[in-house]
Amino acid sequence: MCTMTRTLIRNARLFDGTGSDPYRADVLIEDGLFRAVGPDLPADGARVVDAAGRFVMPGMIDCHVHATLFGEEGLRTYARMGVTTVKDLGGAFDDAVGLRRRQREGGVPGARVLVVGAFVEGEPPSWGALFPGMEVHRSEEEIDRTIARNLDAGVDGIKLYAALPPPLVRRALARVAGAVPVTGHLTATTATEAVAAGIGGLEHLQLTLYRDLVPPEHALGPGDTMGNPAYWGKVRRGWEAIDPASSSPLIAAMHAAGTVMVPTLVLGARTDMGFSDEEDAAFTAAQRARMGARPAGPLPAPALLERSAANMLGVVRAMHAAGVSVLPGTDCGAVGVPPGFGYHLELALMARAMPARDVLLAATGRAAEWLRRDDIGVIAPGRRADCVLLDGDPLADIANARRIAAVYMDGEAVPAAG
């Protein structure tokens, strides 16, 4: 008996993730892969899905999550929301690598997980027990051991963390030697130093670019680390004073080096925007338990938060205008962002700083490029058949990326609930 499954999506308006304008086409899915894309493909016994009046785009990619922290339930929510791949940017090493292995063995449904393993952290670590996976490094030898272990485990990237000083950032980059993409959520090393050292990506615009851009009167002191609840209010006050134009030397360096930015604008969304009941209901049980355990610091007044968020968007706008690749990530799992729904909020925030079509390209083809995955992110023959059918045109309004009629992952329809 033939077990091959064939599906023909007919008459779709197709945004294929390559940067081409949308065009009308049929999409043939066979045995988990896109087999053909073009006009009037023969059905030949395939199951036909009429997509007339609908929009089809590649499955989306979240470049920054903490899947071991939000749990498997969140991966299913992600897939239902059209996000078919997530990159886990840190958790306990065995948990992260183990989750990917169990998923590859078929035991974990939902969005596909890529992993970096643990946080490559310096000393003192930015967090205590609240965030597992802080591996402290004090010497080049310790860096060498971690990088060798991670590469042996076949990680999909390396994540350098906030307390790591410039010499150890440089050492890590030298040991990775381009084998996998390296990204950083950095503080002890500035973004400017990391870009000069050849880092591939920067996470969290708000935090990693802070020291590069903030006026001296808002400089952080030794006690201002993430574990201190007062830190977050200080950073937001600092951003109110940042002139987005001051980012142009850093942006020029990023553009020249090809460094990508994953700004995670949704980081402050819970306080700045609030969540709808539907969004709030999407938090996993694991997330609710962690949110209760994390002390919240006092935040500045809403008007100040709004001005600081506007300056962050100003920097994103300048990056995009300069040709720097700005990619969607949410930090879901580490902060109060609900799986899937938080991703669509991030797309909406990015769309305030760049055209919707560029946001969608970042969410698909560009994200796949950054992750060095030529099997996802684009609807083209030979790629994994991850795609989303939408009831509205997301290029006209990014909110339409949430009007999901169906999601396919590896050619199979993702269950609508459960």
Return the DSSP state at 131. Answer: S
Q: Please, which residue, 62 or 212, has the CB nearer to Zn ion?
A: 62
Contacts 24+ apart (CB under 8 A), 244-248: 244/311, 244/314, 244/315, 244/317, 244/318, 245/318, 246/213, 247/209, 247/212, 247/213, 247/315, 247/318, 247/319, 248/318, 248/322
Q: Please, which residue, 16 or 331, has the CB nearer to Zn ion?
A: 331
Residues in 85-114 at the binding interface with Zn ion, rule: CB under 5 A: 89
Number of residues interacting with Zn ion: please give it, by CB under 5 A.
3
Q: Please, which residue, 89 or 134, has the CB nearer to Zn ion?
A: 89
Minimum Å distance from CB 186 to Zn ion? 12
Minimum Å distance from CB 245 to Zn ion? 28
Minimum Å distance from CB 27 to Zn ion? 34
Angle (deg, nearest 10), helices 72-80 and 285-293 = 120
Residue type, position 337, single letter? V
Q: Please, which residue, 158 or 395, has the CB nearer to Zn ion?
A: 158
Minimum Å distance from CB 335 to Zn ion? 8
Minimum Å distance from CB 66 to Zn ion? 6
Build a one-symbol-per-residue string for 39-78: x at contacts with Zn ion by CB under 5 A, - elsewhere: ----------------------------------------
Minimum Å distance from CB 76 to Zn ion? 21
Contacts 24+ apart (CB under 8 A), 410-418: 410/32, 410/384, 410/385, 410/386, 411/5, 411/7, 411/29, 411/30, 411/31, 411/32, 411/33, 411/384, 411/385, 412/5, 412/32, 414/79, 414/80, 414/84, 415/80, 416/80, 417/80, 418/76
Stretch that binds Zn ion, among 71-79, 83-91, 213-221, 284-292 (CB under 5 A): 83-91
Distances (CA, A) of 246 to 157, 214, 250, 286: 30, 9, 8, 40
Q: Please, which residue, 72 or 331, has the CB nearer to Zn ion?
A: 331
**Number of neighbours of residue 243 by Cβ within 10 angstroms:** 11
Build a one-symbol-per-residue string for 310-339: x at contacts with Zn ion by CB under 5 A, - elsewhere: ---------------------x--x-----
Minimum Å distance from CB 373 to Zn ion? 20
Q: Please, which residue, 67 or 398, has the CB nearer to Zn ion?
A: 67
Site residues (vs Zn ion, CB under 5 A): 89, 331, 334
